[in-house]
Structure 1
Amino acid sequence: MACSGAASGASSRVRRPGANTALATEALLRAPPDGHTLMTMPQFVPALPAVQRVSGFDVADLLPLAGTAQAPLVLVVPPRLGVADLPGFLALARTRGEALSFAHAGHAGVPNLAMALLAEATGIRPMGVAFRNTVQPLLSGDVDCAFGFLHDAVPQIRAGKLVGLAVTTPARSPLLPEIPCFAELGLPAVEIAAWFAVTVHRAVPPPLQARLIAAVEAVRPDPAVQDRLTAAGFAPFALDGAALQEFARRERDRHLALFARLGVTPE
């Protein structure tokens, strides 16, 4: 089995972190396309060449087969900011302009893209500051706001250390039922999540592709699996095969268009 952001052989699990998953992607695509090397691909990898110069592989050779999970986000602020809801936050953000700072984990990261979508929809202009994690800088007082993944943000919200303003899911999250989603606040464009899919080299034979999809489909509905994902801040992601590949294509195009509007170029 593969682990997130990693490629592995049939008999072992090998983490290949680093370079925005470029190392894991290269390991997958250099391995024999026999169905024994898999990758749990994050959603940004198909658009990776737009933000990072890569060589030695072509992301077009990646074939997502089965979705595993989504990681939604929540817009959070520290209590010291003095806002309790999204309208209050937007009013403050419009007043402070670029003096209002937000944490992100890189141009290709979903927290940065979520803030870009919010800025486009509302006209706010917060200043981004790069960190490895988007929640910790809020707790340490380094920034004013951030989009945080639920698994990082929920414990801090429940402890009263952060205030949750809106979630990026289509409906309210069961982990934060008291916090509205952006769509119900009139901002449906701010719907975004990280997603992950079991991915192989495109040259893997179709019969092996079908077996891998069936294996994920057999495990995914297990209540124990679903409960563990939900408790960890993830949501189900039950797309497979051609439907998943079309979804991944639309997501790639959405990311590329947003990068172009933001003026992001490969580094």
Structure 2
Amino acid sequence: MRRSLMKSISTFAVVVVSMIGLGGNATLAQSYPDKPIRFIVPFSVGGGANIIARIIAQKMSDDFRQQVVVDNRGGSGGIIGTKMAVEAEPDGYSIALGLPATITVAPSLFKKLPYDPIKDLVPVGMVGTSAYILSVHPSMPVKTVKDLIWLAKARPGEINYASSAVGAGNHLAAELFKSLTKTNMVHIPYKGGGAALVAVLSGEVQVIFGSKLTVIRQIKAGKIRGLGVTSASRAPEMPNLPTIAEAGVPGYEVDVWFGVFVPKGTPQGIITTLNREIVKIMNDDDIRTKLANRGFEVRTSTPESFAKMIQSEAVKWAQVVKESGAKVD
């Protein structure tokens, strides 16, 4: 009898504790946010990631009635900023923007990555996709992708290309291009997409696989020349610009997705609140139009479907990195 009574009391205690935990989580989600949120961008000001984050942050600030502050922490191919997000308190007041370079490519590319982005970060939701445009300085005597391939083969090691950083998405896009075309162009890494683009605009470097978010305006202004887009289909904003695949490099395709993440351990209620807000923001007509004009395709998701996509992407990029032999110390 005594043993039965003690067992009943223990069971009751577990149920009560569980209910308190669930109630606390729900209360936390209902009051969230009640102070400013830090939005970590693991790249410097001036690149495509920065543009996306600031558009989201402004609308989120308005909706939440709390300031959402973009914190650009570029360096080491996005590792510095992503590590900061991993180590942040899992309370919903530190969120981060993630891209393939920092989430699905980094584990295979970097020999000594100080975190596991797939295990240490939790996907909140996808916000959309974009691509790169193979672009050159106007002084380059090339008008097409085939022209560039011919020139690069005629002058091996003499043509330089800029990237956002070692291991960045546009670095890998360029290396894939070199591999498929059997050309030799020299990699010049910069501290962020903005600095890399400035280098090409000034003629310091001749070639860049620039984010559509930043180079479309420069191409239309005649400051650089676009040769081809890295995606599988042409960019609606520049329908006369061919894909690199159709322009002479069969099988070439590189897309880049953008998504929001939080540190592992963040309450599920807060993740749900953030996902709901991101879906709302990205489906706002004004924001969709603004981003479409910059070459960005809005694509939202649930946390669960985003997590599945990341898992499959990690497998794909692990194979690509292995085949390329690329490694960063």
Both structures adopt the same fold (TM-score exceeding 0.5): yes
| CA–CA distance in structure 2, aligned partners of residues 44 and 69 of structure 1 | 15
| CA–CA distance in structure 1, aligned partners of residues 262 and 147 of structure 2 | 45
| Greater per-residue helix proportion | 2
Shift of residue 65 of structure 1? 2.0
Match for residue 201 of structure 1?
263
Q: Does 1:226 align with 2:285?
A: no
Q: Match of 1:67, SS?
A: strand
* Deviation string, structure 1 residues 101-127 (Cα, Å, up to 9, x no partner): 211222211111111111222212211
Q: Does 1:48 align with 2:133?
A: no
Would the aligned equivalents of 1:65 and 1:200 in 2 still touch at CA under 8 Å? yes
Match for residue 276 of structure 2?
214
| CA–CA distance in structure 2, aligned partners of residues 31 and 145 of structure 1 | 37
- Alignment match of 2:177 (pick from 102, 118, 121): 118
Q: Match of 2:125, SS?
A: strand
Q: Does 1:3 align with 2:61?
A: no
Q: Match of 2:157, SS?
A: helix
| CA–CA distance in structure 2, aligned partners of residues 128 and 252 of structure 1 | 24
| CA–CA distance in structure 1, aligned partners of residues 130 and 310 of structure 2 | 15
AA matched with 2:100: Q
> How many pairs are equivalent?
265
Q: Which runs of 5+ in 2 are unaligned?
A: 1-36, 43-52, 58-65
1:183-198 to 2 correspondences below 5 Å: 183-185=245-247, 187=249, 189-198=251-260
Quickly say closer, same or farther: Cα 1:29–1:110, change in 2 above 3 A.
closer
Q: Taking CA–CA contacts closer than 8 Å with sequence separation of 6 or more, which of the two structures ends up with the larger relative contact order?
A: 1
| CA–CA distance in structure 1, aligned partners of residues 310 and 183 of structure 2 | 29
| CA–CA distance in structure 2, aligned partners of residues 169 and 80 of structure 1 | 26
Match for residue 103 of structure 1?
162
Q: Match of 1:44, SS?
A: helix
Q: Which runs of 5+ in 1 are unaligned?
A: none
* Deviation string, structure 1 residues 128-175 (Cα, Å, up to 9, x no partner): 122333332223222222211123322222222322111112221122
| CA–CA distance in structure 1, aligned partners of residues 81 and 205 of structure 2 | 32
Aligned-residue CA RMSD (Å) = 2.8
Q: Match of 2:184, SS?
A: coil
1:141-160 to 2 correspondences below 5 Å: 141-160=203-222
Q: Match of 2:259, SS?
A: strand
- Alignment match of 2:136 (pick from 77, 91, 98): 77
Q: Match of 1:63, SS?
A: strand
| CA–CA distance in structure 2, aligned partners of residues 242 and 187 of structure 1 | 35
Shift of residue 2 of structure 1? 4.7
AA matched with 1:175: E
| CA–CA distance in structure 1, aligned partners of residues 163 and 213 of structure 2 | 16
AA matched with 1:5: V
Would the aligned equivalents of 1:64 and 1:198 in 2 still touch at CA under 8 Å? yes
- Alignment match of 1:31 (pick from 76, 79, 88): 88
Would the aligned equivalents of 2:121 and 2:262 in 1 still touch at CA under 8 Å? yes
Q: Give 1 or 2 for the bigger CA radius of gyration.
A: 2
